[in-house]
Amino acid sequence: MPRHPHRIANADQQGGFTLIEVLVAIVVLSFGLLGMVGLQAASLQANRDARLQSSATVLARELAEMMRGNKNQAMLATANPYLGQFTSPLAPETPSYCMKVGSSCATPADVATAQLTEWLARVDAELPGAQVTVCNDATPFKASDHLPQWTCTDVATDPVVVKIGWTRAGTKTGENVDGKVKMDRATRPSVVLSVTAGSDQ
């Protein structure tokens, strides 16, 4: 017979409580780690969106500068190669490659088409599911909610506007469908840039 049976029983009870505490701590730690994984995924998504937004802004500015450099062609009301609506795969109706080495562009219109061909190819390569609209538009933003819109006024005297959108993951709560992240397939432009004519000098 053990000399101190009560001490042995108390030791067993203390060991059992310690094991439960360890299990609870593991569960709490697991929830914390899951939260960190979620934050990491959200951070990666935000970083990707910021990178694409920056690329689209740079591309829009590049097209605006090309149009300013070829202003007499870019500001035409009709027969303007720069104007149009383009969806992926992005390309003008009649692509031109006359700016390649060994070739030459005969007219400003040929230069415009070649510039647009090369530019649209880069947009298509950098932005997933890209959509581009270059048009005359006096109201690029809706009056109701001030969000950008694809539709254009298409009046020759209106400013020329470059609009770029692309496919991006939904960011609102509840945008998962059947276990997959809902994708916003360029339902509205993400970049809107007005092209100014510049000076005549």
For residue 99, is it within any domain? Answer: yes
pLDDT, position 162 = 97
pLDDT, position 182 = 60
CA 50 to chain centre: 8
Per-residue pLDDT tens over the stretch 56-115: 999 999 999 999 999 888 888 788 999 999 998 899 989 999 988 888 898 999 999 999
pTM value surpassing 0.85 = no
pLDDT, position 201 = 46
For residue 201, is it within any domain? Answer: no
Query: Taking the chain, what is the end-to-end CA distance rounded to the nearest angstrom?
Result: 110
Supply the mean pLDDT for the chain.
Answer: 83
For residue 57, is it within any domain? Answer: yes
- Domain tally, the chain: 1
What is the domain range of residue 109?
5-195
C-alpha pair distances (Å), 106 with each of 96, 98, 99, 111, 121: 12, 9, 10, 8, 22
pLDDT, position 154 = 93
